[in-house]
Structure 1
């Protein structure tokens, strides 16, 4: 009898210890595990068909030595012989495409990420800036959308606030352009707006007047890198896509999706205003088209799903083909976790170092409409780790590697099948 009481006491203490651990390790960022999303399937036969039988990055990518640290995005300006790189040290870097010389150009607020050149003025870059997980940033620096005037190295904030929003809906929503309500930057107050939490990627309309940017999640301490682990596990519908119209103000374009990341405008015919956008829904392994105007306004369609890796940034090559960086491979473990939601409340309490994170990364190409896979290559991560985007030039591809301790600028030839 005494032994039984001792065992019960030990079990009670273990239970109390578990409860205390469970409460103490609750994530600081509220995490809502999505319970209504589709199961992940194996990559489609069409994707498997175009998969390279070799590691093309390991075999063909070349790194020009230099001090350039890990970086998130590359803007090519081949006519000017230069590229602009958003680096993880908090600087925009200039790379000479002929010599490969790399130089710090200007310090940005926080850490720069997605960037584009103004279509009408190559001396102006728009870029996102956000926190990076594990980095202590200077007080007063704010996430948001910024603009750089290259010759003067002057940076100015374009948008640091967005209209206030309620909790994201349980299902995806796209807001059509017709009837949309904008809030001018000058009219934003503490009552009708909030600070941007996370500006990740962007694209600019052909006339340079509209900037779309993704906010993968909007917690107060949202960050790039490891800060997104819990969002990736939970596949929460916390993401928002915003439009900053330089003439009208800001409006919400889409919400209720899971970690929208890469953004690419599909220009209208004959210079008309854009009707659609392409977006990567990273933690759902999907490529989407959002309809802003026209017969399908307010809807979206899934162009690709169950992709073999986490789709990140988007770019087009001179032939119009679509390129996507797969920052992490979708492993068998991650597929199992996403198809078994019951384990997720435990995983979000574990230290990141205990979670199995794939080292393999990759890149994909699709037809211009995003419907037909053209190329896939997975890479062991030794040459180029964490490919966040693939910037496509006239004669070469430039995969960005989102790992702070890497060095140098990477380029690789187009695969033979797409030359």
Structure 2
């Protein structure tokens, strides 16, 4: 039998390697394909960790058509106030006009302004060792804070921190988010979700896990006013305190809970079909409400809500692979609503220099803008010219 030799070619490194036959290449390719198909089959057969609810979101408002949603550049000229807080979720002011905002690392910053209104260097006021979101001063000069990890806090002028509430009805306050304070000292605040954190899985599930709570400073008791909210977020009282608003981010709406009158103790929809995820709510001197829109509508999210099967599949994926699916669109947006819930005007940055807007707060002729992780960094402001 004649001797046979395997032909070889010289590699770039000078090492002779056997040349693979086309048959072996085909076998290897088919084997890899079989492994891949087997992995896909196993992935599809694994039960989803959620049972998604079907929901057909209304068609988003158009930014191209004439009307209050029409796109403009009102936020595009935003001026940086301070970049000390990377993610200034909420913005408030003390009686002297100094700005306060928290950051996701637990620090709360204070920014003073000079006689010409120019911001000075930010200073650390306190550190909750958590994640301070909402913050408003009470009548005694204490900074009341809703901290995602710590609950409802009170910080006195010297920076000492007291926990007001971290439980309600014997259960934890899972994710204290935003707040407002009534003239009698009552604190209304949101408990965003019993998931205890922001997670894509909750968006996919599309079920209500949030609550609106009330803290009574006299009795030091916390009560539940509303349950079954779709990611309870921003909170704001009306000028007459006859109702309190809470944002339901995942259903693009603001819900109104009546505190006075014939509807006391009931709730209804104040504004719906917003052009994105409403975040925080503030009230200006006219009694109008300003709402930060964290992201404009994401078509994939609406598509997923229409298809529970798709939502269930997506929920199986690791969270690290899903961050891009719910990342804020690079389109800055804040809106102004009148006391009846009608849209007055929308403020845009379509270029996305400023985006991921959580807060729009009117003060001393400016609209101050806060953001959250995933969006722009630092506190910004624009002149309130219309």
Is structure 2 residue 75 aligned with structure 1 residue 108?
Answer: no
CA-to-aligned-CA distance 1:321-361 (integer Å, 9 cap, x gap): 11000000113333333333331111222322452632323
Q: How much does 1:298 deviate?
A: 3.6
Q: Which residue of 2 aligns with 1:156?
A: 162
When normalised by structure 1's length, the TM-score is: 0.75
Q: Which residue of 1 aligns with 2:190?
A: 214
Alpha-carbon RMSD across the aligned residues, in angstroms, is: 2.9
CA-to-aligned-CA distance 1:173-203 (integer Å, 9 cap, x gap): xxxxxxxxxxxxxxxxxxxx12221001111
The answer to whether the Cα contact below 8 Å between 1:76 and 1:391 also exists between their aligned partners in 2 is: no
- Choose the corresponding residue for 1:232, options 176, 187, 203: 203
Q: Which residue of 1 aligns with 2:20?
A: none
Partner secondary structure for residue 81 of structure 1:
coil
Q: Counterparts of 2:189 and 2:78 in 1: how far apart (Å)?
A: 30
| Structure 1 segment 108-147 matched on structure 2, within 5 A | 108-118=128-138, 120-121=139-140, 123-131=141-149, 143-147=150-154
Q: Which residue of 2 aligns with 1:190?
A: none
Q: How much does 1:82 deviate?
A: 0.3
Using a 3 Å threshold, how does the CA distance of structure 1 residues 384 and 231 change in structure 2: closer, same or farther? same
- Choose the corresponding residue for 1:373, options 343, 352, 367: 343
Q: How much does 1:68 deviate?
A: 2.9
Q: Which residue of 2 aligns with 1:195?
A: 172
The answer to whether the Cα contact below 8 Å between 1:52 and 1:377 also exists between their aligned partners in 2 is: no
CA-to-aligned-CA distance 1:65-114 (integer Å, 9 cap, x gap): 5433221000023x403011111221110011334121111111311001
- Choose the corresponding residue for 2:182, options 190, 196, 205: 205
Aligned residue-pair number: 348
Is structure 2 residue 283 aligned with structure 1 residue 316?
Answer: yes
When normalised by structure 2's length, the TM-score is: 0.81
- Choose the corresponding residue for 2:256, options 263, 267, 289: 289
Q: How much does 1:41 deviate?
A: 2.4
Q: Counterparts of 1:240 and 1:55 in 2: how far apart (Å)?
A: 35
Q: How much does 1:261 deviate?
A: 0.6
Q: How much does 1:246 deviate?
A: 1.9
Is structure 2 residue 211 aligned with structure 1 residue 279?
Answer: no
- Choose the corresponding residue for 2:59, options 28, 41, 54: 41
Q: How much does 1:300 deviate?
A: 1.8
Q: How much does 1:379 deviate?
A: 2.3
Q: Which residue of 2 aligns with 1:258?
A: 230
Is structure 2 residue 366 aligned with structure 1 residue 396?
Answer: yes
- For structure 2, list consecutive stretches of 5 or more residues without a partner in the other structure: 1-30
Q: Counterparts of 1:409 and 1:260 in 2: how far apart (Å)?
A: 23
Q: Counterparts of 1:85 and 1:24 in 2: how far apart (Å)?
A: 44
Q: How much does 1:296 deviate?
A: 1.7
Partner secondary structure for residue 363 of structure 1:
strand
Q: Counterparts of 2:326 and 2:103 in 1: how far apart (Å)?
A: 26
Q: Counterparts of 1:205 and 1:340 in 2: how far apart (Å)?
A: 42
Using a 3 Å threshold, how does the CA distance of structure 1 residues 354 and 363 change in structure 2: closer, same or farther? closer
Using a 3 Å threshold, how does the CA distance of structure 1 residues 300 and 40 change in structure 2: closer, same or farther? same
Larger Rg: 1 or 2? Answer: 2
Q: Which residue of 1 aligns with 2:79?
A: 62
Q: Counterparts of 1:44 and 1:52 in 2: how far apart (Å)?
A: 7
Partner secondary structure for residue 84 of structure 2:
coil
The answer to whether the Cα contact below 8 Å between 1:89 and 1:404 also exists between their aligned partners in 2 is: no
The answer to whether the Cα contact below 8 Å between 1:57 and 1:379 also exists between their aligned partners in 2 is: yes
Q: Which residue of 1 aligns with 2:357?
A: 387
Using a 3 Å threshold, how does the CA distance of structure 1 residues 34 and 24 change in structure 2: closer, same or farther? closer
Q: How much does 1:364 deviate?
A: 0.3
Partner secondary structure for residue 184 of structure 2:
coil
- Choose the corresponding residue for 2:96, options 69, 77, 80: 80
Q: Counterparts of 2:32 and 2:281 in 1: how far apart (Å)?
A: 55
Partner secondary structure for residue 355 of structure 1:
helix
Q: How much does 1:318 deviate?
A: 1.6
Mean Cα displacement is larger for which, 65-74 or 405-414? 405-414
The answer to whether the Cα contact below 8 Å between 1:40 and 1:335 also exists between their aligned partners in 2 is: no
Mean Cα displacement is larger for which, 387-396 or 400-409? 400-409
Q: Counterparts of 2:267 and 2:123 in 1: how far apart (Å)?
A: 41
- For structure 1, list consecutive stretches of 5 or more residues without a partner in the other structure: 1-8, 132-142, 164-192, 269-273
| Structure 1 segment 297-376 matched on structure 2, within 5 A | 297-350=264-317, 351-353=321-323, 355=325, 357=327, 358-370=329-341, 372-376=342-346
